[in-house]
Chain A
Amino acid sequence: MTTTAGNKEFWFPYIMWWILWAVVHFFLLQAFGVQNKIAFVDALVSNGLLALSGFITFTAFRFYMPGKGNYLYRIIYLIALPAICVFTTKFALQNIFFDNDDYLKFLESSQYPRYVFAFLMIALMGIVSWLRYYMLEQNENKKRKNDAEILLRDAELSNLRQQLQPHFLFNSLNSISALAGSEPEQARKMIQQLSDFLRGTLKKDDTQTVTLQSELEHLQLYLDIEKVRFGHRLVTEIICDDNAKQMFIPPLLLQPVVENAIKFGLYDTLDAVTISILAKASENYLELTISNPFDKATSKANAGTGFGLNSINRRLWLLFGRNDLLQTEQKENIFLTRIKIPQVL
């Protein structure tokens, strides 16, 4: 919190404000026929004391944030402080100009308007400081809320990222178990691939982006494992132009989409399944198209849903604040998932 009392932005306007009122005060007294010298001292003392009271009010309200029921104290404060202020002023001026009877009479008769003025000023200070601190607190709250949201978002992102399908892991381990008996060398290789894949999944940080090339390398590990599981049923092709390879992509975005396509393709048809991944560079975007076969007749109900794509959509929203980056399309017996990754990151 910036300290209100104590910085330049506060003091300059504050002092100017009281000088202005002192000048007004001076001319007002002059108009009532008070001598210049006396009017000057009166204006100085009155407004100086008010300025001091105002400052006290600012400080008091700062540490004594209103709002929680203690209105009575505040009202007493706002009535008493101007009274003290006016009385002190009167006392001081009576002592300075003890020999000027006309002025003393005038001083006595002007107590009431002086009090009203002091009250209004101090009430104004009270309101201004209350508003100011209220706003500061609101900003503080907003900032805190914002920070909390960012934290939550990060947590959500990392959650979405690490949504490793348990099916995949356990089935892979089962395959390894099968290979361990018949082809130990293959089993060892698959353990290696699975480890590399899992390590890659764990260490990535969502704040970074990676090149498509490194993401494709990671994907290849995954595809190799899936091919061991599904044998000849699964065929994959990756077409990627050289420009696209150097473009950026949030880590682990592609793999779940491909996983979804594989699941969709393999569980929706009986024949061999070709999953193709096409990457293209366009202006400001990396465009990815993932296609898998599906059966129009039976999967109408599931098309375009499924956890895989929902979480991808959510991630894209959290990262780029856009909902239009993922599109799906059905062409004959092919299901297409199109993703555009903005390159202004």
Chain B
Amino acid sequence: MIKTILIDDEPLARSLVKEYLKSYNNITIVAECGDGFEGVKAIAQHKPDLIFLDIQMPKITGFEMLELIDEPPAVIFTTAFDAFAIKAFEAHAVDYLLKPFSKERFEKAVNKYLSATDKTKTQNATNEILQSTNKHYEEQNRVVVKFGGNIRILNAAEIFYIEAYDDYVKIFTKDDYFLKKKTMSYFEDTLSQNDFLRVHRSYIVQLQQITKIEPFEKGNHVALLKNGKKIPLSRKGYSALKDKLGL
């Protein structure tokens, strides 16, 4: 039996998918969610094979929700209008359905999933979507992170700096830090170029948080942040920072 979860904030949109799924005896709906928070919980609880996911939803988008899931299931996006998403999915998605979609179109998407013999392949495809969509994402002014069992939405302004940490990054706010499975270059590309700067292979700093630049041993420099933290600057980072600050 294939377990699926429907995640969409409009009840009628979910009921349409439900109706279309009736003819599939081998697919069972284990949960319905009205937003991404519920979605994260339901996915952790039920470990579905496939989810139907809307993009624009309360609090966090479908993309942001997927970022919070360690091993995302195969995803069929259902969305009304998202030019940038379409582009991103064309290469990798199990499928994307543009609302309103016909039953035939829906069945094509589901059959595409069912006929994929290697299920891990579709999951890899989902991961690839996540990587590639982010490239198409416009500048982000917030980051969604998991925090204990909860989900937090960090405004970009709250971020002090970001530090590389193996496959993860540590996102530091004034007092806390949060882990996220993303690359440094992802944040370098998506955070505002005006506010953030990669000052070191392992560090991205929010310029607003810098109070002082101090010389360090052997002609190197460090940046002193408002919370007292010192961030090492690479040579390249130091000159980029000077440029940015107009020194």
Contact = CB atoms under 8 A, between A and B. Distances in A.
Interface of A: 166-167, 170-171, 173-179, 181-182, 228-231, 233, 266-270, 295, 297-298, 300-302
Contact of B59 (A170, A230, A231, A298): A298
24 contacts: A166-B80, A167-B81, A170-B100, A171-B99, A173-B99, A173-B100, A174-B12, A174-B99, A175-B10, A175-B12, A175-B13, A178-B16, A178-B19, A179-B12, A181-B19, A229-B10, A230-B10, A266-B58, A267-B59, A298-B142, A298-B155, A300-B155, A301-B155, A301-B156
A269 B98 contact: no
B173 to A, nearest CB: 12
A267 B9 CA distance: 9
Contacts of B80: 166-167, 170-171, 174
A301 B141 contact: yes
A300 B12 CA distance: 31
Contacts of A176: 100
Contact of A301 (B9, B19, B35, B142): B142
Is chain A's interface secondary structure helix, strand, loop, or mixed overall?
Answer: helix
A270 B98 contact: no
B37 interface: yes
Given A171-B10, A301-B155, 14 more contacts: A167-B56, A174-B99, A174-B101, A177-B16, A267-B56, A267-B58, A268-B59, A269-B58, A270-B34, A270-B37, A295-B59, A297-B153, A298-B153, A302-B141
Contacts of B57: 267
Contacts of A230: 9-11
B9 A300 contact: no
A166 B155 CA distance: 28
Contacts of B35: 270
Contact of B12 (A228, A269, A298, A301): A228
B157 interface: yes
Nearest to B59: A270
Contacts of B101: 174
A125 to B, nearest CB: 60
B98 A170 contact: yes
Interface centre among A167, A171, A173, A301 (most CB of B within 10 A): A171
A233 B98 CA distance: 24
B135 to A, nearest CB: 22
**For the complex of A and B, 9 pairs with smallest distance between CB atoms:** A178-B16, A170-B80, A174-B99, A174-B100, A178-B12, A175-B12, A173-B100, A298-B153, A177-B100
Nearest to B61: A267
A297 B147 CA distance: 16
A337 B81 CA distance: 27
A23 to B, nearest CB: 73
Interface in B1-33: 9-13, 15-16, 19
B81 A170 contact: yes
Contacts of B15: 178, 182
A171 B79 CA distance: 8
Contacts of A295: 59
Nearest to A300: B155
A300 B99 CA distance: 31
Nearest to B81: A166
Contacts of A300: 155, 157
Interface in B208-247: none
Interface string B135-153: 0000001100000000001
A176 B101 CA distance: 11
Contacts of A182: 15, 19
Contacts of A171: 10, 13, 80, 99
A269 B10 contact: no
Contact of B11 (A181, A231, A302): A231
Contacts of B12: 174-175, 178-179, 228-229, 231
Contacts of B157: 300-301
Nearest to A177: B100
Contacts of B155: 298, 300-301
Nearest to B13: A174
Contacts of A301: 141-142, 155-157
A176 B10 CA distance: 12
A179 to B, nearest CB: 7
Nearest to B154: A298
A174 B78 CA distance: 11
Nearest to A190: B12
B157 to A, nearest CB: 7
